[in-house]
Structure formats: structure tokens, C-alpha cells
Amino acid sequence: MYIGRAIPAVAFLVLLALLLSLGEWQLRRAAEKAPLFDQFLSGQDLPALTTPVENQWLEENRYRTLELRGRYDSSRQLLLDNMIHQGQAGYHVLTPFQLLRGERWLLVNRGWVRADPDRRVLPQIAVSEAVREIRGRIDTLPRPGLKLATAAPNEADSWPQVVLFPSIDELELRLGVPLFNYQLWLASEYPDGFVREWEPRTMAPEQHLGYAIQWFGLAGVLVAMAVVLGVTSVRRRGN
């Protein structure tokens, strides 16, 4: 008899603890994401940089605007696979950019293009190699969360090449040139780009707060149900 009564109480406590822990976890995630989004918003208000950011200063200058002169290498471009836009699968187009000064090259992300259902058919992404000025915002290369697919195989000497969450070291081997350890999101007002709706590639703090409210709300509903059931049980025993 006692064990039968204890089981619902134990189940209630376990479920309540789980819901509260999920809510607290979402609050922690919101607190972790807030500085990143603050940095993203403040980056657009700071003056544009006119010299490349050295690799060791990347984190402090993430999302800063950068203006540079140089030329694209249209013959050796990269298609970053598994990039989703409005529910559609596609690629981010990474084009090597040779600066007029300095040895290291910069990877310019010219935006998102839709993937063909036949993954062997690659998008047309040719671009003029004339000297130009570009402007964009600094960001790290995407890192994998859950890999839902694999990149299509490439011929070793065929371009563009499809890559799946590569490291800078891997890209330097492919391209045969030294690279800065970040990409540049090409500004939407500049030509020769594709779909460009740049924002941090992670859930916003507000979304985490929304989920936290949901978990805490469910915990509140659970407590209310337990109280109602408890009161009802007491009344029945009293009768």
C-alpha cells in the first residue's frame, strides 16, 4: 500500500526536477549567447577597419566591418555544404580574395545559393577577377552541429569544390596559399554576391528565454495538477 502511494510522488518529484533543470539550462544558454549577439550588434556601429585583422585578434574583432582592396580568384572557389536558408538546402560560396598587400589571402563568403536536387550539378558562381574594393563583416567559419549529410565527392583538380565544415588548415592545403583564419561576410550592397542575410549562426537569447518560460510553465502546471489531485484525494478520504 505504501509503495503504491509512493510511486506517484517519486514520479512527480523526478518530473518536476527535470522540468526545472531544463528551464535553468535554457537560462544559462541565454546568458552565454547574450555577449555574442551584443558583439554582433555593436560591430555594425564601430568604424570600419581598413587592414586585415591578425589571427590572434579574431575574437575581439569578430563581426567588425572590414574594407579591403584586392581581386577574387574565380578559378578556385569553394562551396560550403549543408547551409540552410528558409528551409532549403544550399551552399555558401567561399571565394579566395588576394589582397593587394600581404601574403595571406582572405576567404570571402559571397552568400547562399540553392543546391540542385542532383548534387552532381553545381551552381554557376564565376566572378570577375578585376581589382576591386570589398566590404564585409568578420566571422569564423561555421562549425558542425549535427551533420545530416555528407559533401558530394570532388575530383581532386575540379573546381568549385564542395566542402563540409572544413578547417582553415584544410582549406590552405586545398588552395595552396596561406589564409587568415576567418571569413568575410560580403556586405549586401556590394555586387557579385548571392543571398546575404547575415546573423550569428546560433539561437538568439530571446529564443532560449522563451523555451525557459515554457519549461517553467510546464513545471507550474505539474505542481498545480499535483495540488488539485492531492486536495481531491484528501476530500475523498474524509468522506
- Residue 198 covered by a domain: no
Q: Does residue 132 share a domain with residue 79?
A: yes
Dihedral angle, C-alpha 231, 232, 233, 237, nearest 10 °: 100
Task: Clarify whether residues 70 and 179 are in a common domain.
Answer: yes
Residue with cell 578585376: 130
CB 66 within 8 A of CB 37: no
Cis status of the peptide bond prior to 52, with omega within 30 of 0: no
| Residue-wise pLDDT tens digits, 24-41 | 999 998 888 887 777 878
DSSP reduced 3-state for 39: helix
In a domain, 107, yes or no: yes
Distance CA 145, CA 203 (A): 12
Q: Are residues 115 and 170 in the same domain?
A: yes
Give yes or no for residue 190 having a pLDDT over 70: yes
Same domain as 130, residue 23: no
The CA distance from 213 to 231, in Å, is: 27
User: In terms of domains, do 154 and 114 share one?
Assistant: yes
- Find the domain containing 68 and state its range: 64-186
Same domain, 159 and 80: yes
How many C-beta atoms surround the C-beta of residue 231 within 10 A? 10
69 and 171 belong to one structural domain: yes
Q: List the grid coordinates of 7.
A: 510511486
Q: Let me know if residue 43 belongs to a domain.
A: no
Percentage of the chain modeled with pLDDT above 90: 59
Same domain? For 32 and 69 the reply is no
Would you state the pLDDT for residue 238? 64
Which has more confidence, 185 or 157? 185
Domain count along the chain: 2
Do residues 9 and 79 share a domain? no
Per-residue model confidence (pLDDT) at position 145: 53
Confidence of residue 170 (pLDDT cuts 50, 70, 90): very high
Establish if 48 belongs to a structural domain. no
- Residue 95: enclosing H or E segment and its boundaries? strand 88-99
